[in-house]
Amino acid sequence: MNRAVRLPHTDRFFEARFESIGGLGAHAAGQVLATAAVLNLGLNGAHFSSYGSEKKGSLVRSFVRLGPGEQPIRTSTPVEAPDAVIVFHAVLLGNPGTFAGMRKDGVFIYNAQAGTIPAELAALPKTVRVVRVDALGIAVEENSRPNAVLLGTLCSQFPFLDAEVILAALCAEFAGKHPEAVAHNERAFRRGATEFEAIENVGRAEGDLPIAKPEPEWGYETQPAGGLLPAPGNMAWNDLSASRTGWLPVLHGDKCIHCGVCDLVCPDMCLVWGDGKEGGKFERELMGVDYRYCKGCLRCIESCPTGALTKDAETPGLADRLRVRLFPELIS
Amino acid sequence: MATEILSAPTKTEEAPTQGQARQKLEFRIGNEAAALAACDVGYHVMGYFPITPSTEVAENLSKMQAEGKHDIVLVAGDGEHGAAGICYGAALGGGRVLNATSSQGVLYALEQLPVQAGTRVPMVLNIAARAVSGPLDIRGDHSDIYYTLNTGWIILCARDPQAVYDMNFAAVKIGEHADVCLPVIVVYDGFFTSHQKRRIQVFDDPEALRGFLGTRPDLPTPLDTEHPATFGAYMNDPDLINNKVQLSQAMQAARRVIPEVFAELEALTGRSYPVMDAYRMEDAEEAVVLLNSAAETAKEAADELRAKGRKVGVLSPNVLRPFPAEEFREQLRGVKAVTIGDRADSYGAGGGNLSLEVRAAIQEDPANDTRVISRIYGLGGKDFYAADALAFFDLAGQVAASGKVAEPFAYHGATPGKPGRGARPGLPPIRAEEVSQPMAHVKRNVSTGRLDVELEPLWKMTAVPKRVSPGHGACPGCGAFPTLHQVYNALQGDVVVLFQTGCAMVVTTGYPNTAHRINYIHNLFQNGAATLSGLVEMYHERMRRGEVPESKDITFVMISGDGGMDIGMGPAIGAAIRNHRMMILEYDNQGYMNTGAQLSYSTPLGHRTATSEVGKKLPGKRYHHKDTAQIFAACHLPYVFTASEGYPEDLMRKVAKAQFYAKNEGLVYGKILSYCPLNWKVADDAGQPVLQAAIDSCFFPLYEIEHGHTTLTYDPDASDRRHPVSDWLGLMGKTKHLLKPDNAEIVAGIQAETDRRWARIKALHEHPLL
Ligand SMILES: Cc1ncc(C[n+]2csc(CCOP(=O)(O)OP(=O)(O)O)c2C)c(N)n1
Ligand code: SF4
Ligand code: SF4
Ligand code: SF4
Ligand SMILES: [Mg+2]
């Protein structure tokens, strides 16, 4: 393929950072983008993702670095000062690292339904172009994945990322193993490229945002020797709500016989039990779900003999309204 | 946006080749580059065991094999020690042999490495370098590779995916050279190189490649029955020293051979690899020395400083063994000060190995006056940014100016920590009385001598405080946690657990957070059983000596995955034979899930995993699943059982018995079938039907063996629920290929083996003695 490509900057690489959660396809998105840029647009490029554990639901960052074809890429370090940030899940807006290093002339794309503008976006530079797209909604409608939609939106924002070339790479990625997915992904991609909303006047910050230098909580002067961790169960501070992908279990107390079956299959130990009401029928009662920990696997629903748990679509605020706390004195 | 420029287009078909061989452009990570090279070399055999971040070498080869792209025999070892043994045997057999590993895998294989070098058997080992445990860290540094420095293997350093590809060819040829005849390591940085996609050129010219590689020279082999020989005779003084002289001479010869081979390769590819990569060193007065990917980052910093007029350069050896001492002397002669960064410490030595060896090299040069600053950096995968390289140059600059080294050795980039900050507080400890209510009542049946168990109703168990907190990082729907939860429900009193490496361990402890509310130990999954048996013996001995109060009553439980019962089988059998008072509970999810779903010996025939791929040439795993429960039964333990989280009451009854036996008689083993939605490729909420189908098909019989007496605790025949295995296989993404007509024979094979094992268990169940 013979084409001349216009990169936005002459003096540095173009760098993109995908902020995501395992299972949403950020790694694949970065890979498709960089592969197409290198093999079909004649650019030089690098792509990699940050891995902790590779479980579904854990935080994933994917990085793409692109430069002119003749320029070597040497550094293998993560993208600190991105030209583009693509946020796969709105909960990640609550994480300051999501914005870190954002360039003042960059593009910030996030996945969310239309509606109120998240307050966190005020942290962005004034001059950044902010773009919202309902990637999950489109993906569900098109039987595709959010990454296809977000790639479409990204290409629409940077003319040098030739949408047809990137789309061809996306299709090629699936052509082998899932030929049936190609048409779905194409529609999702094209809708992502057009059905976005540019949000005006949200950023408040001046200039580039500072790059993040995350520090560990403990250091060599404070950390117990030998890696000892004298804090039993402190993972309970983690918030896993972001692992849910649109559904949550809802308890209907009237139907519950408090049998305890669901408790044995919940992998996340987030069903909240208490002693039954004085003089009541039950010695122990299921009071509800602590959605802070619920990953929405729905195994509890499958196990329930009475239909007391139902699968409900997670609308904004629903989990907060229904949540019953497991550790009310400790963890809000 | 700023000015736009036109980038020169590179046409895929016209890759910039200066070499004689035809090449093509690819965009690949280091592990893929290693796998592509392996495919091109056409090795005879690869022995391996999965470990992050090198696993993808075997995974990619499995994928390519399924597509019919090569016919390398891929053999999954029972651990890295076994894998190294497989490689050694295969290499003795006269063909070309490959392995790939990292970190603990290197250490676990280490014992075999000098054996292979000392007996002069060439092969190639790729190491995606990663921090060694403990504490366990999966990311990249050089602490594993430094352990290999004294093994007698040639070590080539590959700084990026292109070098990984190229050096894998050089490695074959260098190791097989008649004057060398040594095994060769190619080391590249874990994650930084192993997992980073870069543009690479690969051969598109099998002929040229064949010309370069030739065939493996004929070396003595035990397969040559016409010329009987003894391989590995036992050798003491005065002979051993002479064998080592030869090895040392081979290393010397490699100094000559390596540049020759690199030059030959360059003629084909146009890419050159000098033994010493010297960047902008011509007139450098200040330098940094770094290995692999960090050196590339430092080159960016050097450019920046050169632009400001500073005379700086970067040195980075492409070959670590034999050590390029002469090249260092040459390069450093005019340098006033050098900062040498080591991505691993030689604790107590005042520098990492690279730094110590460079110091030793230049002190032999009377003309050398270079000041040396040693720094440890980037441990456990800590990134090395251009800013870090600038700091290294600054150190060298200050020393060059002052002529004095204020701090010859230090760690760079560590965090002192702030008072008042630290891990988030834990949950309140679980009080003894909270777990003293039995949820299962165990009584010995006087007529049979076996135990009877009565469970409390399930709702009552909801009052048992959870010994694992929520907030862990397992995938939605993960079955390891219902398993754990059910196990803990049935256990009464104080419990001390040891988790072997695997999903359940990794997702419950990520420093500085833990989900464990009771005392928990991790040891690597090849040695947990031995470790726990040591703790058990100390407990009893300290109690006997009155150092632990008699009122204490601890139950010791080891939790392992099925993979841990492959690599850790030896120590587990050892603990079983010794009959320590503890239990080993295995959650069997039919694969090495923590590392991305490679086959374990418990993976059933035909199932798809990342190392038993499915394609026109490969229909999943090639051999039947391991019957671990029967292996432990043969150890004559007081109690062995199988169970599943899909049958909670059955499981909890067995765990209650297990606790009784583990406290009063000796070792208990239990194998528990646990759901893994991610890698079985099933919906998160389908655990119950899938487990049910596995059990109803009799693939996974539920039974127990109490003092040698086998009892089926669920008989699908009797309840008329028995289904063919295909009903189960049809439910999972990892097995759906099996239902295609082409694979009917495999399904028949699984059915036949299931029937055979089931009939045996039934016969055992029915026989009064068994
Ligand atoms: C000596 C050594 N080799 C390999 C590894 C990498 N490794 C860590 S966990 C694991 C797989 C564990 O499988 P299993 O025991 O079945 O537990 P699962 O992850 O499936 O829960 C592997 C291969 C290691 N940590 N140490
Ligand atoms: S399984 Fe259903 S009925 Fe039983 S406790 Fe749970 S929600 Fe209630
Ligand atoms: S969906 Fe149900 S079983 Fe799954 S985590 Fe949430 S409460 Fe637990
Ligand atoms: S990979 Fe499987 S076993 Fe591991 S956490 Fe995920 S679901 Fe559980
Ligand atoms: Mg496993």
Q: Domains of chain A (ranges plus CATH)? A: 14-199 (3.40.920.10), 238-322 (3.30.70.3270)
Mean pLDDT of B599-621: 96
Q: Which residue has the tokens 């340098």?
A: B335
Closest CA of chain B from A23, distance in Å:
10
From the CA of A301, give the closest atom in ligand 3: 2
Mind giving me the DSSP string for B382-437? ----HHHHHHHHHHHHHHHHHS--S-SEEESS-----TT--SPPPPPPPPGGGG-S
Q: How far apart are CA B700 and CA B705, in angstroms?
A: 15
Single out the residue in B709, B725, B741 at which a domain terminates. B725
Residue B450: pLDDT above 50?
yes
Nearest C-alpha to atom 3 of ligand 2 is from which residue? A256
Q: How far apart are CA B283 and CA B331, in angstroms?
A: 10
Residue B323, in any domain of the structure:
yes
Question: To probe the interface with A, which of B685, B688, B690, B736 has the most A CB atoms within 10 Å?
Answer: B685
Q: Say yes or no: B580 and B721 in one domain.
A: yes
What are residue A85's DSSP bridge partners? A17, A108
| Ligand 3 geometric centre to CA of B427 (Å) | 21
What is residue B34's predicted lDDT score, i.e. its pLDDT? 98
Q: Say yes or no: B63 and B147 in one domain.
A: yes
Nearest C-alpha to atom 8 of ligand 3 is from which residue? A266
Helix ranges (H only) for chain A are 26-39, 135-142, 146-157, 163-175, 181-194, 261-265, 299-303, 318-322
| Ligand 5 geometric centre to CA of A251 (Å) | 33
Instruction: Give residue B616's identity as a one-letter amino acid code.
Output: K
Number of the ligand closest to the Cα of A252? 2
Residues of A in contact with B510 (CB under 8 A): 52-53, 235
Question: To probe the interface with A, which of B191, B475, B679 has the most A CB atoms within 10 Å?
Answer: B475
Closest CA of chain A from B510, distance in Å:
9
The CATH number that applies at residue B393 is 3.40.50.920
The CATH number that applies at residue B117 is 3.40.50.970
Mean pLDDT of B556-579: 98
Q: How large a percentage of chain B has pLDDT more than 90?
A: 97
What are residue A108's DSSP bridge partners? A85, A130
| Ligand 2 geometric centre to CA of B692 (Å) | 20
Residues in CB range of A244: below 8 A, 6 or more apart:
A294, A295, A296, A314, A319, B476
Residue B7: pLDDT above 70?
no
Q: Say yes or no: B489 and B637 in one domain.
A: yes
| Contact yes or no for B592/B50 (Cβ under 8 A) | yes
What is residue B19's predicted lDDT score, i.e. its pLDDT? 87
Mean pLDDT of chain B: 96
| pLDDT digits 0-9 by tens, B614-644 | 999 999 999 999 999 999 999 999 999 999 9
Q: How large a percentage of chain A has pLDDT more than 90?
A: 86
Q: Say yes or no: B326 and B458 in one domain.
A: no
Mean pLDDT of B433-444: 94
What is residue B432's predicted lDDT score, i.e. its pLDDT? 84
Q: Say yes or no: B99 and B241 in one domain.
A: yes
> A329 in contact with B at a CB cutoff of 8 Å?
no
Q: Say yes or no: B313 and B368 in one domain.
A: yes
Residue A124: pLDDT above 90?
yes
What is residue B17's predicted lDDT score, i.e. its pLDDT? 54
What are residue A21's DSSP bridge partners? A59
Q: Say yes or no: B41 and B24 in one domain.
A: yes
What is residue A52's predicted lDDT score, i.e. its pLDDT? 59
Residue B11: pLDDT above 70?
no
Query: How does residue A55 score in pLDDT terms, banded at 50, 70 and 90?
Result: confident
Residue B71, in any domain of the structure:
yes
| Contact yes or no for B77/B88 (Cβ under 8 A) | no
Q: Which of A257, A272, A322 to mutate to test the pocket of ligand 2 (most atoms within 8 A of CB)?
A: A257
Residue B40, in any domain of the structure:
yes
Q: How many helices (H) and strands (E) does chain B have?
A: 25, 30
Q: Say yes or no: B101 and B176 in one domain.
A: yes
Residue B14, in any domain of the structure:
no
Residue B10: pLDDT above 50?
no
What is residue B507's predicted lDDT score, i.e. its pLDDT? 96
| pLDDT digits 0-9 by tens, A136-176 | 999 999 999 999 999 999 999 999 999 999 999 999 988 77
Residue B694, in any domain of the structure:
yes
Q: Tokens representing B677?
A: 């939605």
Task: Count CA atoms closer than 13 A to B604's CA, side-chain side.
Answer: 25
Nearest C-alpha to atom 2 of ligand 2 is from which residue? A304
Q: Is residue A261 within 6 Å of ligand 2 at its C-beta?
A: yes
Q: Is residue A194 within 6 Å of ligand 2 at its C-beta?
A: no
Residues of A in contact with B476 (CB under 8 A): 56-57, 243-244, 267, 295-297
Q: Say yes or no: B529 and B635 in one domain.
A: yes
**Domain residue limits at B363:** 276-411
Task: Return the H-helix or E-strand segment holding B284.
Answer: none
Query: How does residue A54 score in pLDDT terms, banded at 50, 70 and 90?
Result: low
Q: Say yes or no: B460 and B590 in one domain.
A: yes
| Ligand 5 geometric centre to CA of B483 (Å) | 13
**CA distances to A65, B114, B676, B691 from B124, in Å:** 32, 14, 35, 42
Q: Say yes or no: B529 and B497 in one domain.
A: yes
Residue B227, in any domain of the structure:
no
CA A59 from chain center: how many Å? Answer: 7
> A221 in contact with B at a CB cutoff of 8 Å?
yes
Strand ordering across the sheet containing B124-129: B73-76, B45-48, B97-101, B124-129, B184-189, B154-158, B319-321
> B423 in contact with A at a CB cutoff of 8 Å?
yes
Task: Return the H-helix or E-strand segment holding B536.
Answer: helix B528-544
Mean pLDDT of A71-78: 95
Mean pLDDT of B380-405: 97
Mean pLDDT of B477-498: 98
Model confidence pTM above 0.95: yes
Residue B764, in any domain of the structure:
no
Nearest C-alpha to atom 8 of ligand 4 is from which residue? B478
Nearest CB to A68 within list B7, B419, B645: B7
Question: To probe the interface with B, which of A15, A263, A323 has the most B CB atoms within 10 Å?
Answer: A263
**ipTM value for the complex:** 0.96
Residues of B in contact with A273 (CB under 8 A): 462-463
Mean pLDDT of A254-272: 98
Do you find a cis peptide bond into A305, omega within 30 degrees of 0? no
Q: Say yes or no: B518 and B606 in one domain.
A: yes
What is residue A180's predicted lDDT score, i.e. its pLDDT? 85
| Nearest CA among A293, A244, A238, A288 for reference residue B684 | A244
From the CA of A255, give the closest atom in ligand 2: 3
**Taking the alpha carbons of A161, A162, A167, A170 in that order, is the dihedral positive or negative?**
negative
Residue B651, in any domain of the structure:
yes
Q: Which residue has the tokens 């539920």?
A: B702
3-state secondary structure of B513: strand
Q: How far apart are CA B713 and CA B472, in angstroms?
A: 32
Nearest C-alpha to atom 6 of ligand 1 is from which residue? B51
Single out the residue in B350, B376, B411 at which a domain terminates. B411
- Total domains in the fold of chain B: 3
Query: Which one is predicted more confidently, B15 or B766?
Result: B766
Mind giving me the DSSP string for B116-169? HHHTT---EEEEEE-PPSSS---S--SHHHHTTTTTT-EEEEE-SHHHHHHHHH
What is residue A332's predicted lDDT score, i.e. its pLDDT? 87
Mean pLDDT of A273-285: 94
> A68 in contact with B at a CB cutoff of 8 Å?
yes
What are residue A130's DSSP bridge partners? A108, A199
